[in-house]
Structure 1
Amino acid sequence: MKLWSSYLKRNLGWIAVILLTIFSMSVIVELNGVHISEWIYGTILCIFFLLVIGGVDFYLYYRRHRNLQKMQEIVKISVNALDMPKDQIEEDYQKLLQLVHEDKVKAVNDLESGRKDMAEYYTMWVHQIKTPIAAMRLLLQSEDTPKSRECAEELFHIEQYVEMALHYSRLDSDTTDFVIQKNSLDEIVREAVRKYAKLFIRKKIRLDYQPLNIEVLTDEKWLEFVIEQILSNAVKYTPKGTVSIYMENEDTLIIEDTGIGIRAEDLPRVCERGYTGYNGHSDKRSTGIGLYLCRRVLEQMSHSIEIESEMGKGTRVKIGLITKERIHE
């Protein structure tokens, strides 16, 4: 119905001309004394031809409408796919669309080029900053004092932020370099735990971890990054107590702590970019990027993350994995 009204509105001028012509011919025929039967015959014949021509024209109009609807479903639309213009006005509109399309393509290309330049800069910066960090670590290893240990801990945090910046810049790039293959989950977890061993010892936090004996289909480097981020939060927000690492239902890795917990109103948003919540406001160094990156990385590897927590009792992070049993399925 909407298409019919649109077609009639588009051709309203021609319809008015045709009706006026029929009325004028009727008056002329009447004035010239032509028999009414001949007038009716001529009128019916004209109406028949008009209906045929109108039907064909409406079909062409409908086909153009369907073609445009199909083009709307295409993400990367090209104005070259448009039908040939029927008149000067349509040609002018298509030229205007061509200009808009070219401007959009140029803007997208400029944006992509800028994003690639920024990603390359971050990558170069990360690799360059690792040199002075390594040098500072060597200098701190030459002495073992409370102050040097404190400096080493802060240096470790700097390394964390550097790695986070590198992973953040790579996540949306064309060089995400995911290598999905079977990996031992124990090796990945142990490597992540080894990096935080000194913090566990310094804060006197107990680690409850038994061999998992599970193979998972994942990217070793990226999953290790995710586990590191979760362990970092567990150590940061656990003044004292235990961090437990174990499997649930043979395809879910659990990292649980007895820390300060997360408020119920913050839980739905903790994986949003830049959201820090109540705990983040207490810790001025919180960026709200860590869990966001974890969620993004896990989604791209067809894994999942779920967080359960209770204020004052601790937090439980559940990472859904693809285990060896599910691989065989």
Structure 2
Amino acid sequence: MAVYTEVSDAALADFLSAYAIGGLLSYKGIAEGVENSNFFLHTTDGSYILTLYEKRVREADLPFFIGLMEHLSARGLACPQPVRDRTGQALGRLCGRPAAIVSFLEGVSVKNPGVEHCRELGRALAALHAAGRDFSMVRDNNLSVSSWRMLFAQGEAEADSVEPGLAERTRADLAVLEAQWPRGLPGGVIHADLFTDNVFFIGDALSGLIDFYFACTDAFAYDIAVCLNAWCFAHDGTFHHDMATALFAGYEAVRPLEPAEVAALPILCRGAALRFMLTRLVDWLNVPPGALVKPKDPREFDRRLTFHRQVRDARDYGRQG
């Protein structure tokens, strides 16, 4: 979440007039994240999140995201519910951008998760995969291995200014991943971006998942790889095996992994780390002037890749059995 497009009071009032969500009491921009422009709305009827879609989010993909949130919510997964306007539309336009309002989800993200948070995450991730199995829409993962070399081209010339040797390490990783990327794994709807700021807790209980704007159709095990990268590393690149073991235990209590998925985890984890290093690298080098946004440091994932290159077996990630 971030703010790239400023919204005037008059433009917002005109946009909100199409919705039956009460009178606007206050609103403010949300600075976290790097993808879309987001605002917290407080009205006489409650609290909502307004999103203006920018950057990597293609307008043609928005019906998938909106439909997915409605589908998952209807099947009991705690996630934001799109709010439709008086004509039944969930998507509108504001300041020249596609825009939508979703319900506000109670809870807070945990900046320093522990073992039990990871166990709860694993259960919720498996529940998401189960709830999405009968979702009829399909969206390719446009940030998977086939796109990484083109993405790297946007930052390759300046990569070593961010971290010495980064360009050469990335070229080597790309060669390995393109040659060894697994195919044919069990799959369906995945979140693909389930970092700590996209998971809410009330106390120690997970209260919901947010930010489905990278969701797509891909391997379930890749979603686990994303979570291992996002939740089980310290900033210095140290891997927390106990947290990963808990994540696996929570997930497999709902959906046991197949042998092919377990075997693929080392390459999937390495690929997930490279994907986030690359998108962070491009964002780090291309922050729009005046944008209310805090780009995330690509060097965190460069350090995680150092660990992944040494992994040969899923047991190195703390999976038991």
- TM-score normalised by length of structure 1: 0.24
Larger RCO of the pair (alpha carbons < 8 Å, separation 6+): 2
Q: Which structure: larger Rg?
A: 1
